[in-house]
Structure 1
Amino acid sequence: MPSVSRESWIDSARGQLFAQDWAPAGASGAPILLLHDSLGCVALWRDFPEHLARTTGRQVIAYDRLGFGRSARYPGTLRLDFIGDEAQTNFPLLQRHFGFERCVVFGHSVGGAMAVACAAQHPQACAALVTEAAQAFVEHRTRDGIRAAEQEFAGAGQLERLQKYHGDKAFWVLRAWVDTWLSDDFSDWNLDAELALVRCPLLSLHGEQDEYGSTTHPERLTAVPDVPTVLKLLPDCGHVPHRQQQATVLAAVDDFLRRFAGA
């Protein structure tokens, strides 16, 4: 049976956030909150949220961060502490709006780092944590991949790929990604302090051919002491496992949640 999907608008002190959720009939268990990547938004998850809801039997919630997709513009330049700020500022808004006491935080790429920050800052509200192609620190491979992508977006018509999803915010989205990650002031960023505070089970999914990060990232993410952790490397897979190997990702997440976060 298909999931029921709803759209929502959430007021914040900086502007409205757009959110969408999918709820299969008889949904149970803590909902799954999706946090998108540096160029992403709700629409760019495509059909994954609906399939995730149907596979796990849980409500799935996705939202556009401020400055992305259908949410309001970000006020000025992206803060260098934007990862922790997302967990501190917007996670409580989503919790209140959707009325959940606990959730599973699931983040792709930099959204995975934000999911870790959510679990660290709100341990009572996070039943489990899933990272997908997440970065745990600033690696040369990450920066090299961003430089290559920046050159690609400089080509004729390439920015229109982002405008389809972000409208006239597309150039800001691109520069926020490139300028932040290539900044000298961001070069020593890492998740070590946040990982030390994680108290919930953690699944880390990572493609072996991920162009933005080596397998050192999931290895560091799953080195958290005193909590159950699962590392799943995906052969012949790049930076977007939920699209490139969707069936494998769905099965891995469902198995992990059944084992560590209830049926």
Structure 2
Amino acid sequence: MVWGAGVVKIAGHSLEYGCWGPEPSEAPTIVLLHEGLGSVGLWRTWPALLAEQTGMGVLAYSRAGYGRSTPDTLPRPLDYMEREARDVLGPLLDALEVQSCVLLGHSDGATIAGIYAGSVSDMRVRGLILLAPHFFAEAKGIEAIHAAGRAYADGDLRDKLARHHDTPDVAFHGWHDAWIDPGFANWNVADAIDHWRVPSLTIQGTADPYGTFAQVHEVEERTYAPAEVLVLDGCGHAPHQEREAEVTAEIVAFCARLQQFENADVHIPESA
């Protein structure tokens, strides 16, 4: 494993990754899980900022079909997020020698993080940070994805994506075509929340075209673990970009609370 940048082979794909800050043997790691059209590069300068302000390591990778990773097979199955959590994330953490981590996901990435935390028993995962997550399909979000399809076909969205993805058509259609499939209207993975056993921070903008506050309510109503929520008035689908300073400060504080709890000297009295 090379801490910095490289390629790791997982589940038959070569996946690009980037790392910032301390190595896993020196500090906990924030694992970044990108959105439906994201990649390592599209996190831009934020991973370095997170590493600097939290004192933690930061690891990002591009899923198959995204960024500089090898292409994925289309059409992508409707349970592609569940498969990513089940088949890829754990082996990737193994390969990159992550020892203790916080999963930080955006949109599809937040969903994958939530599924992993609720379906895989992994003591390395100490907390969840979810930016604009979705645990079930909403008509509003599907309408926004149809609009993105029109922008891809008739506008300049493809040209923009081609700057960041070796296979932009795979990146776009793998995401878009799954979400607009009629069968996706009944997609729901909210039962994963029932099994969270780590603290979470959910960040949601009130002007997000892809999801509503119903997703946050699902977290609040179903998790038995401590759950914090930050609602950003007027913010859209990318809180870490639209409100970078505010979101970063909240994440830094959340990670500090996690580490304080982890390092607390808890006295357990002896039984009589």
Q: Please state which band the TM-score falls in when normalised by the shorter chain.
A: over 0.9
Per the alignment, residue 142 of structure 2 pairs with 143
Max radius of gyration: which structure? Answer: 2
Per the alignment, residue 159 of structure 2 pairs with 160
Per the alignment, residue 127 of structure 2 pairs with 128
Per the alignment, residue 234 of structure 1 pairs with 232
- State the alpha-carbon separation in 2 of the partners of residues 218 and 140 from structure 1: 16
Relative to structure 1, the CA distance from residue 251 to residue 196 in structure 2 (aligned partners, 3 Å threshold; closer, same or farther) is same
- State the alpha-carbon separation in 2 of the partners of residues 25 and 226 from structure 1: 31
Relative to structure 1, the CA distance from residue 139 to residue 247 in structure 2 (aligned partners, 3 Å threshold; closer, same or farther) is same
- State the alpha-carbon separation in 1 of the partners of residues 243 and 15 from structure 2: 29
Query: Which one of the candidate residues 85, 89, 92 is aligned to 2:90?
Result: 92
Deviation at 1:172, TM superposition (A): 1.7
Per the alignment, residue 267 of structure 2 pairs with none
3-state SS of 2:4 partner: strand
- State the alpha-carbon separation in 1 of the partners of residues 92 and 7 from structure 2: 10
Q: Structure 1: any 5+ residue segments left out of the alignment?
A: none
Output the aligned Cα RMSD. 1.9
Deviation at 1:93, TM superposition (A): 2.2
- State the alpha-carbon separation in 1 of the partners of residues 230 and 22 from structure 2: 27
- State the alpha-carbon separation in 2 of the partners of residues 225 and 37 from structure 1: 23
Among all aligned residue pairs of Structure 1 and Structure 2, give the percentage whose two residues are the same amino acid: 29
Contact 2:24 2:100 in 1 (8 A): no
Per the alignment, residue 211 of structure 1 pairs with 209
- State the alpha-carbon separation in 2 of the partners of residues 15 and 132 from structure 1: 26
3-state SS of 1:176 partner: helix
Q: What code does the residue aligned with 2:135 have?
A: A
Per the alignment, residue 10 of structure 2 pairs with 12
Contact 2:74 2:174 in 1 (8 A): no
3-state SS of 1:154 partner: helix
Q: Find runs of 4+ consecutive structure 1 residues off by over 6 angstroms.
A: none
Q: Structure 2: any 5+ residue segments left out of the alignment?
A: 264-272
3-state SS of 1:199 partner: coil
Deviation at 1:26, TM superposition (A): 11
Per the alignment, residue 266 of structure 2 pairs with none
Relative to structure 1, the CA distance from residue 153 to residue 76 in structure 2 (aligned partners, 3 Å threshold; closer, same or farther) is closer
User: Residue 39 in 1 paired to residue 37 in 2?
Assistant: yes
Q: What code does the residue aligned with 2:236 have?
A: G
Relative to structure 1, the CA distance from residue 201 to residue 12 in structure 2 (aligned partners, 3 Å threshold; closer, same or farther) is same
Query: Which one of the candidate residues 78, 99, 102 is aligned to 1:101?
Result: 99
